[in-house]
Amino acid sequence: MLLSYCTNVHPAEDLDGVIRQLREYAGPIRRTVGLAILGVGLWLPAGLARQLAHSEEDRAALRDVLDAEGLQLHTINAFPYGGFHNEVVKLDVYKPTWADRERLEYTLNCAEVLAALLPEDTAGSISTLPLAWRESWTQNDDDAATTAFAELSSRLSDLRERTGKTVRVAVEPEPGCVLDTVTDVVGWLGTRIERGVDPEFVGLCVDTCHLAVSFADPAGAVNEIDAAGLRIVKVQASAALHVTDPTDPAARAALAAFVEPRYLHQVREAQPGGIIAADDLAEALAELPGESAWRVHFHIPLHHVPSAPLETTVDVLRRTVAEVGQLPYAPEVHLDIETYTWSVLPGASVGITEGIAAEIAWAQSNLFAAAPTP
């Protein structure tokens, strides 16, 4: 598995901003960890992706800074379309949907950029949203999304024919979305192969925070994907919050510190009769019964051990990587550290360079110490 960290943690909406984040953060992070080469998973806002897709000169400028800083690109996060560091993001992160032509064009622009910047003999990956937020999704929307993914498959095949580079798109299930779980994505993709969605070019991104929030079993999830003839293209290395007793006053007080206005923090409670849900943490604190354990969609730094009674689901990450590591194509899977929450993390006591460097070092030691880095 190829290790990288996702740059969506850094605010940047134009080329100068992306170049600056690579020089001021990614390069210093590489040097802090002591790596000759560090993988980065770029986040490109839609306007910048379009610009780069149509400008060899701008792609060359980006390639130059990647080379100068000892960085290697093999994956792009194309889930947020833009404005990922606005004061309020919440449900906006799911727009435009896969029923909108803009989403397909954005993803194809990212594919052009990635194909141009990939190292030789390396496939690229692009993670994307699971169609849309669940509310207001119609059958017409679903049909439009199916058509879009069929065209995406064809265009990615053409891209490989034209450039010799393979780029795959990875659908990332997320709680509350149309495709909420791994099972949802497997079912949706599996029933659309005959309608032109090609599993050679469209697979799954397993975000281990999302997987944990859904209380899924990592081995079961990986086996389900494999049994369906689908591919795990990318794993987003992330950890959720876990609370064993949400009625404990100390736990509720600790959780309240994580309520913040920028991002959505879905909560799931695992009751004996099934999972019950809240769409955000403040709603969960007000409405969920707290009769069983909670998991909260708040990406916690991988190496961070919160004060009791809060815990993290880092063991779900460990188990997922171990399971994916058994797949025959495991060396081609991209493992992208995606802790984008540093700016809203309560009580963060280190700078972002030191923090991300610590996450990378933790991943090397705890996930696949013997596996190759890019």
Rounded average pLDDT over 76-86: 95
Residue 370 has pLDDT above 60, yes or no: no
Cβ neighbours of 136 (radius 10 Å): 8
State the pTM of this model: 0.96
Q: In the prediction, which pLDDT does 374 show?
A: 40
Helix (H, G, I), strand (E, B) or coil at 204: strand
Q: Tens digits of per-residue pLDDT, 224-248?
A: 999 999 999 999 999 999 999 999 9
Q: Which residues on neighbouring strands pair with residue 167, listed in sequence order?
A: 124
CA 88 vs CA 281, 304, 360: distances in Å: 15, 25, 28
Rounded average pLDDT over 74-93: 95
Alpha-helical runs (H) found in the chain? 15-21, 27-33, 46-53, 56-68, 101-117, 139-163, 182-190, 208-213, 218-227, 249-256, 281-287, 314-324, 352-366
Contact 76, 169 (CB under 8 A): no
Percentage of the chain beyond pLDDT 90 is 96
Residue 361 has pLDDT above 70, yes or no: yes
Q: How many CA atoms lie within 13 A of 102 on its CB side?
A: 12
Residue 75 has pLDDT above 70, yes or no: yes
Task: At 357, list the tokens.
Answer: 């460097």
Q: In the prediction, which pLDDT does 319 show?
A: 97
Q: Tens digits of per-residue pLDDT, 257-280?
A: 999 999 999 999 999 999 999 999
Split at pLDDT 50, 70, 90, the class of 373 is very low
For 334, list phi and psi in degrees, rounded to 5. Answer: -95, 130
Residue 348 has pLDDT above 90, yes or no: no
Please give the Cα distance from 26 to 259 (Å, whole number).
29
Q: In the prediction, which pLDDT does 347 show?
A: 80
Please give the Cα distance from 214 to 11 (Å, whole number).
29
The side-by-side arrangement of strands in the sheet containing 310-312 is 274-278, 267-271, 294-300, 239-243, 310-312
Domains, the chain = 2-238+313-366 (3.20.20.150)
Is residue 58 packed enough to be buried (19+ CB in 10 Å), middle (13-18) or exposed (0-12)?
middle
| Radius of gyration over every alpha carbon of the chain, rounded to an integer in angstroms | 19
The strand pair at 294-300 and 239-243 is best described as antiparallel
Rounded average pLDDT over 63-82: 97
Dmax over CA atoms of the chain, in Å, equals 60
Contact 223, 189 (CB under 8 A): no
Rounded average pLDDT over 292-317: 96
Residue 372 has pLDDT above 60, yes or no: no
Please give the Cα distance from 41 to 241 (Å, whole number).
24
Q: In the prediction, which pLDDT does 78 show?
A: 98
Q: Which residues on neighbouring strands pair with residue 170, listed in sequence order?
A: 127, 203
Q: For residue 32, what is the DSSP state? A: H
Q: In the prediction, which pLDDT does 329 show?
A: 96
Q: In the prediction, which pLDDT does 124 show?
A: 98
